Amino acid sequence: MIVAIALPRFPLLVAMLANGIALDTPAALAPVSGAPQFVGMCTQAADAHGVRTGLRVGEALARCPSLVLVAPDPDAVAEAHERVLVRLEGLGAGVEPREPGHACFDDAGLTRLHGGRDNILRRVRAVLPVGANGRIGVAPTRFAALQAARQAHPRTPLVIEHQEICAFLAPLPAGRLPIGPSLVHTLWDVGIRTIGAVAALPRAAALERMGFDGIDAWRIARGESDGPICARQPPEPLEAHCRFDEPVGVLGTIEVAARLLLAELATTARLRGTSLRTLHLRARLADGGSWTHNIALREASTDPERLALAALASLGQIGAPVSELAIRTDASGGHTARQLTLERPEHTERQRRAREAISQIRSALGDDAIMHAIALESWSHLPERQWALVPYDISLSRAPHE
C-alpha cells in the first residue's frame, strides 16, 4: 500500500508564518513581481469572502477589502518541504517528493519494522508540522493515495482498500487526473466531468478522446497501477551564500557573485571526492519574498564553467533587487572523470551532444519544439500535401557511416 501526506495550502502557510501573519487572517499569495496580477492560494477566511485562486488583484480586494497579500517565499517553502521529507525518511521510508507539502512512500518493509500499519500512520502524523492540518491517505496506487490524503480528515487517515478504489475515485473531478488543461476542457465539452466517467469509457473511445498521452490517465481512473514509488536518493547538501551590503539590481554583478559561489561549491565537492548533481538557486529580494530556481544537471560535475553555463541563464528571471544570493546543491555525485572516445571523435562526440541537446529542449518545451519535414505526395500541386512536419526523430541524429 502507498502512504501519502498532504499539507493544504502549504506555500501560503509557510509565507504567512515567515511574515508573522496569523493563520486566521484573510490572506492570499501576491503575484510574483513582473507576473500577471492574479492572486494565488487563499486562506479559508479569504474563501469566506469569495476570494478564489486566479482572481485579479483588484477584484479580490473589492470582495475583501481587508485581504492581506503575502509575498511568495519559495525559498522558505523549499526548506520546510525538505524538513518534512527528512523526517519521513527518518522513519525508514523511501520517499517520493511531490509538489510542496505532498509526498508518498510504499509501506512495504515498514509494517514489521513499526509493528503494523496503524503504528506507521501514528508515527507519520507525529512528524508532520504542528498546526499545518496535515492529512494522510493510504491506497493501492500513488494517485489514489494522494487523492485520499486530500480528502482525509486532519485527524483521521483515510484508507482505501483495493476493492474500494474505483468507487472512491469515481466522483472526483476529471481535472485531478494527470492530464493537461486543454484535454480537461475537451472532456468537459463532451460531458465527461468526473473520473468515473473517464473510467467508464471503452479503451477505443478513451484513445480517440484522449490520445496516446491520455491512456495512462484512463488506466489510473480505472484504479490500475501507476507504477512503483520512485524514492529519491537522500541528498548531501552543500551550500554557499553571499550577502550584499546594498541591494543589487545589476545582472552582471549578480552573475559575478554566482560564479564565485559555484567555484566555491565545486572546490569543496572536489576535496570531498564527490560532484554536484543539482543546483538550487535562491535570491532574497530587497522588497520582501524570495526567488528560487532548480536545475538538475545532465551529469554530475565539478567544472565551474559547466556549472555556470547551466545556472547563469536563469538569473535574468529575477525581477527585483537582491539582498542575498545563495546556491544549494546536492553533492552526492560520484567522482568521475569524463574522457572522450578516441574512435571517430569528429562524428560520435558531436552526435552524442546533439542527442543530449534535443532531449533537453524537448523536456523543457515538448516534442513539437523540434520538427522536420517529410515528403508525402511529391506529385501533388498543393504544398501542404507535398510535405508534412513531424517531431524530429533522435535516431536520425547519427554519424553518416553508422
Helical (H) or strand (E) element with 259:
helix 251-272
How far is residue 50's CA from residue 57's CA, in Å, rounded to a whole number?
Answer: 13
pLDDT of residue 46: 86
Residue 370 DSSP one-character state: S
Does the pLDDT value for residue 168 go beyond 70? yes
Q: What are phi and psi of 43, to 5 degrees?
A: -80, 170
On whether the CB atoms of residues 85 and 234 are closer than 8 A, the answer is no
Q: How confident is the model at residue 385 (pLDDT cuts 50, 70, 90)?
A: low
Summarize pLDDT for 59-91 with one digit per residue, the tens.
888 888 888 888 888 878 888 888 888 888 888
Cell of 86: 527528512
pLDDT of residue 393: 63
On whether the CB atoms of residues 227 and 142 are closer than 8 A, the answer is yes
How far is residue 145's CA from residue 174's CA, in Å, rounded to a whole number?
Answer: 16
User: Looking at the whole model, is its pTM more than 0.75?
Assistant: no
**Which of 103, 106, 109, 81 minimizes the C-alpha distance to 94?**
106
Does the pLDDT value for residue 338 go beyond 70? no
How far is residue 185's CA from residue 187's CA, in Å, rounded to a whole number?
Answer: 5
Summarize pLDDT for 84-105 with one digit per residue, the tens.
888 888 888 888 888 888 889 8
pLDDT of residue 280: 86
Please provide the average confidence, as pLDDT, over all residues in the chain. 81
Helical (H) or strand (E) element with 35:
none
Give the domains, in start order, of the chain with CATH numbers.
Answer: 2-8+75-166 (3.30.70.270), 20-72 (3.40.1170.60), 170-221 (1.10.150), 237-330 (3.30.1490.100), 353-396 (no CATH)
CA 234 remoteness from chain centre:
17
Does the pLDDT value for residue 376 go beyond 70? no
How far is residue 172's CA from residue 184's CA, in Å, rounded to a whole number?
Answer: 13
Summarize pLDDT for 234-278 with one digit per residue, the tens.
777 788 888 888 888 888 888 888 888 888 888 888 888 888 888
